[in-house]
A = this chain, B = another copy of it.
Amino acid sequence: MSVRAPTELGLELAAFVPYRLNRVAVGVSNHLSDIYRERFGLDIPEWRVMATVGSRHGCTAQHIAESTRMHKTRVSRAIAHLEERELIERASSAADRREREVRLTKAGRKVYAELVPLVLERERELLACLTKEQLRGLLAGLDALESFLGLQD
């Protein structure tokens, strides 16, 4: 199956899947970030840290970095900002004092509890533009690409 005419010499970015994927991912991210940026003042790394910490009962920066695939310095700085805003708190782990256990504060849990439903609703709105077959195909395509690229968890 050919994506474009095989005789074409040039490259049309608008039909080039890596480029289209990037553009759609950025568009979806912007569409979503309206919520956590404008309403809660979070940027992308901070939102991802909140999402990761909120779905567990405490975790390390190392775990957040692996889970979100962000660079450890990006995680470190996002954690520092969130700690300043008192949305998360850290305690040195007793078992390994190199580690610091990250948890949501009461204020952080409040933000998380407000934010998650809004974000899931945005996802639902977004996916509503797809037919069931398109959604199934898109998810299957993402599965296959994640597998090919070694991105599975």
State the main secondary structure of chain A at its contact with B.
helix
Residues of A120-146 contacting chain B, CB below 8 A: 120, 123, 126-127, 129-142, 144-146
How many residues of A are counted as interface, with CB atoms below 8 angstroms from the partner's CB atoms? 64
User: How far, in whole Å, are A109 and B9 apart by their CA atoms in the complex?
Assistant: 12
Bound-state CA distance A134–B17 (Å) is 13
Q: How far is the CA of A142 from the CA of B145 in the complex (A)?
A: 14
Counting CB contacts under 8 A, is A28 at the interface?
yes
A residues with a Cβ closer than 8 A to B are: 1, 3, 6, 9-14, 16-29, 31-32, 48, 51-52, 54-55, 67-69, 109, 113, 116-117, 119-120, 123, 126-127, 129-142, 144-149, 151, 153
